[in-house]
Amino acid sequence: MIIGFHSGRTVVHRVDARIKLAALALFSLVSLRTGFPGLGLALAAALVLLAAARCSPLHCLRGLKWYLVLLGCIVAARAVTTPGEPVVAHPWLPGTRQGLEAGLVLAGRLLVIALFGLLVTVTTRPSHIRAAVEWYLRPIPFIPQQQVATMIGLLVRFIPVILAQSAELDDALRARAIEQRRNPLRRITHLGMPLLRRTFVTADRLASAMEARCYGMERTGHQWRTGTGDWAALGLVTGFCALLLAIS
């Protein structure tokens, strides 16, 4: 389980949640304009920060294995569909050099954004993420910032629950030798339908529990305390993003 808050007292954990969300948005925008040098530097920075947060980078990449498979499919699709100079002069390998480069850049951008997003969720409590979203939406008129922040907070909490339930169902199916079935659609059905049922039941129980406790939008807000270290972190992020734009 790599997605979800991991308690700790590292420097990354102590940074203000509002600064982390702003840094994540800034990294996401800057990554859309970066090339190979900037993406390599950003990827190295993400892995270093994960290690500083006491979250093994290798463990994180192993946990994102299916996401990496998806990125590999994106690279292959761009290599095949983009016209240009062939990589290998063979009719069965129609990939082009331009398509391969474009696919690698796109996959690198998505990987960098995913790693920085993982860093935020690992080092920030869901309640702090909800409060930070509410703080950012408060000046915008005609938007129910408390409801939006509550939904985002519940979403952050639900993702680890869904993944844990998926792991439990996968272990149960393996104990019943479901992986020996040759039909992959049947295996997906045996996993997907119970997982959807568990997810809906868990969501219904959560809604009933919130109603029983008279949960409302009028709640005490989080008391923010932004220190010198938080402003220094924002300055470092801004300078690093400027460096990425300069070398790309």
pLDDT in tens, 112-126: 999 999 999 889 988
Q: What token pair was written down for 84?
A: 């240009």
Same domain assignment for residues 149 and 61: no
Contacts by residues 39-45 (CB-CB < 8 Å, ≥ 24 positions apart): 39/105, 39/108, 39/109, 39/112, 40/108, 41/243, 41/244, 41/247, 42/112, 42/244, 43/108, 43/111, 43/112, 43/115, 45/240
Same domain assignment for residues 34 and 129: yes
- Count of domains in the chain? 2
Threshold 0.85, pTM exceeds: no
* E-state strands within 91-235: none
Q: Write the pLDDT tens digit of every residue in 41-62.
A: 999 999 999 999 988 888 888 8
Same domain assignment for residues 170 and 183: yes
- With the C-alpha atoms ordered 163, 169, 174, 179, is the resulting torsion angle positive or negative? negative
Same domain assignment for residues 168 and 83: no
Q: Which domain holds residue 173?
A: 145-216
Same domain assignment for residues 9 and 72: yes
